[in-house]
Amino acid sequence: MKEKRKKQSRLDRILEIPEEISSVKPKITIVGFEKMVVENFKSVLEYQEFYIRLNTYMGILNINGFHLKLGEMTKEDIMITGKIESIDFEEIESERQES
């Protein structure tokens, strides 16, 4: 688990691989106010039509809105659709201490 949290490896730097591709930091892509893709998530903690909580390697991502639905999902990526009103992030306590 600690290996996934470390910074870019030497090979990644030599090959000039962007950090967002080689790390497990969550990457959030929002299209308008109605579609969002979260990469590098661990699990869905809560799912309601107005509230979704996702566990990531860096903390908990809270998505608030209306008519929220979970769309396409893989092991690491998830699509959320609906009227997205706000997004906030709860940092994991142990991550804060390590930094």
pLDDT at residue 33, as a whole number: 86
Tokens of 29: 């892509």
Are 62 and 90 within 8 A, CB to CB? Answer: yes
pLDDT tens readout for residues 18-72: 665 556 788 899 998 899 999 989 999 999 999 999 999 889 999 999 999 999 9
Q: Locate the DSSP E strands across the chain.
A: 27-31, 35-39, 41-47, 51-56, 59-73, 77-91
Which CATH class for the 26-98 domain? mainly beta
Return the amino acid letter for 97. Answer: Q
Q: pTM (2 decimals)?
A: 0.72
